[in-house]
Amino acid sequence: MTSLGPLAGITIVDLTRVLAGPYCSMMLCDLGARVIKVERPGVGDDSRHIGPFIEEKSAYFISLNRGKESIALDLKAVEDRALFEGLLGHADILIENYRPGTMDKLGYSFDDLHARFPRLIYAQVSGFGDTGPLRERPAYDLVVQAMGGVMSLTGQPGGSPTRVGTSVGDLAAGMFACAGINAALFQREKTGTASKIDVSMLDSQVAILENAIARYQATGEIPTALGSRHPSITPFDSFETQDGNLVIAAGNDGLFRALCKCIGREELFTNPDYESNASRTANQAELKRTLEETLQTKATKAWLGILAEAKVPSGPIQNVAEVLGHPQTLARNMVVQVDEPGLENFCVAGNPIKISGVEDPSSRAAAPELDANREALIREFGL
């Protein structure tokens, strides 16, 4: 075991604010990279001012920036520009999520920087991307969730389009950017060439539309929100029990038979209306009612035991407190503590990328105060 992740030795200069970019650099930090956050003097990352707050610190900011360093620089001021460029001379990666065009005006376009720092990888995360008619439009998570189609697919049938309850508009872009940056690091190591990565939040939403694109083309019908059920696999839905609800995902004939058997409704498996996944999907509303007649006779916990025994994929619909306290979540070290001065037991999500031979620590260093690392960085790099 080593404490070093695969990106040990890699230094990132991180100009990003709020969510998509900081989520990306947080992933890179968890993979072992050093992240130097460059913030606006006086104000810092906007997310320092977004609640919820604990002891006057933004819990939101901490959860995205634990383990990073901070230096406040005004990229329009001569002295700070010299410091910034000095940092770039020691960096492997620059990440920014300004509106496209902003870095060009500062004299820090990829072409400008590539000429001076030929090994610097440049990653840009923006709302709509570095090209196209909407290039300079501002975007937030909600805007790309709305424009990207996922809201039209989420919600109850016939109800309002619904935002996904976490910021997948930002997070998906951060995750794609992270994959792209790692690929660019590999490419640089192999070929010596450093490239620019351009990831947009809207593109990332298109990329996660998944089977909706295929369905639309195959049927000509515009996919709509279906509650919790799957469009083409049945039964694959949430169901009411005596005291609540649960989900069952019986994705093939074998699992459907196992489901019917374990709940004592074997006759459903031989019913011609339910003989194939296609017929079960065609008759899904009736099948759901029929299954619920039985499921409503016992409590959720009892059914979950029976279904698990029969190896039918199923589970409780857990709230955030339940998932954070779940034995599997804890066994996987997916809730880690932040060593934040003055805050005891503040936890954040752990690293979902587990790597052999790499330590998966159960805590993270604190999030930096604004400009906390200025003097140390100046000394270390002789700036």
Q: Footprint of a second copy on residues 120-159 (CB under 8 A)?
A: 127-134, 137-156, 159
Distances in Å between the alpha carbon of 252 and those of 232, 248, 308?
11, 12, 16
Place of tokens 């009892």: 302
Q: Which is nearer to a second copy, 81 or 211 (CB)?
A: 211
Q: Which is nearer to a second copy, 5 or 268 (CB)?
A: 5
DSSP string for residues in 82-145: HHHHHHHTT-SEEEE-SPTTHHHHTT--HHHHHHH-TT-EEEEEESS-SSSTTTT----HHHHH
Contacts of 182 (CB under 8 A, 6+ apart): 7, 31
Q: Which is nearer to a second copy, 80 or 253 (CB)?
A: 253
Judged by CB under 8 A, the residue of 186, 266, 299, 380 near a second copy is: 186
195: phi then psi, degrees, rounded to nearest 5: -120, 175
C-alpha span between 156 and 153 (Å, rounded) = 9
> Could you tell me which stretch among 57-65, 101-109, 262-270, 294-302 binds a second copy (CB under 8 A)?
57-65
Distances in Å between the alpha carbon of 187 and those of 12, 235, 360?
17, 44, 26
69: phi then psi, degrees, rounded to nearest 5: -105, 165
The reply on whether position 45 binds a second copy by CB under 8 A is no
Q: Which is nearer to a second copy, 80 or 112 (CB)?
A: 112
> Could you tell me which stretch among 79-87, 352-360, 362-370, 373-381 binds a second copy (CB under 8 A)?
352-360
Instruction: Give least dist CB 206 to a second copy, A.
Output: 4
C-alpha span between 42 and 59 (Å, rounded) = 19
Judged by CB under 8 A, the residue of 3, 41, 232, 305 near a second copy is: 232
Which segments of 138-260 are extended strands (E)?
A: 196-200, 236-240, 245-249
Instruction: Give least dist CB 83 to a second copy, A.
Output: 26
For residue 245, what are the β-bridge partners? 240
Beta pairing, strands 196-200 & 121-126: parallel
Verify whether residue 230 is a known catalytic residue.
Answer: yes
Pattern 284-313, a second copy, x by CB under 8 A: ------------------------x--x-x
Q: Which is nearer to a second copy, 86 or 223 (CB)?
A: 223
C-alpha span between 381 and 89 (Å, rounded) = 9
Judged by CB under 8 A, the residue of 25, 65, 97, 167 near a second copy is: 167
Judged by CB under 8 A, the residue of 118, 315, 362, 375 near a second copy is: 315
The reply on whether position 214 binds a second copy by CB under 8 A is yes
The reply on whether position 263 binds a second copy by CB under 8 A is no
Instruction: Give least dist CB 214 to a second copy, A.
Output: 4
Q: Which amino acid is at 83?
A: L
The reply on whether position 172 binds a second copy by CB under 8 A is yes
C-alpha span between 350 and 29 (Å, rounded) = 12
The reply on whether position 35 binds a second copy by CB under 8 A is no
**Exposed, middle or buried by CB within 10 Å (0-12, 13-18, 19+), for 270?**
exposed
Active-site position among 90, 114, 230, 326 = 230
The reply on whether position 20 binds a second copy by CB under 8 A is no
Q: Can you tell me whether residue 324 is helix, strand or coil?
A: helix
Binding residues for a second copy, total number by CB under 8 A: 158
Q: Which is nearer to a second copy, 95 or 377 (CB)?
A: 95
Torsion angle of the four alpha carbons 277, 210, 352, 2, in this order, in degrees rounded to the nearest 10: 110
Judged by CB under 8 A, the residue of 237, 256, 295, 303 near a second copy is: 237
The reply on whether position 233 binds a second copy by CB under 8 A is yes
The reply on whether position 160 binds a second copy by CB under 8 A is yes
Q: Which is nearer to a second copy, 319 or 379 (CB)?
A: 319
109: phi then psi, degrees, rounded to nearest 5: -65, 165
The reply on whether position 161 binds a second copy by CB under 8 A is yes
The reply on whether position 227 binds a second copy by CB under 8 A is yes
Minimal CA–CA distance to 174: which of 14, 358, 291, 49? Answer: 14
Judged by CB under 8 A, the residue of 72, 202, 291, 295 near a second copy is: 202
Q: Which is nearer to a second copy, 289 or 379 (CB)?
A: 289
Query: Hey, which residues are catalytic here?
Result: 230
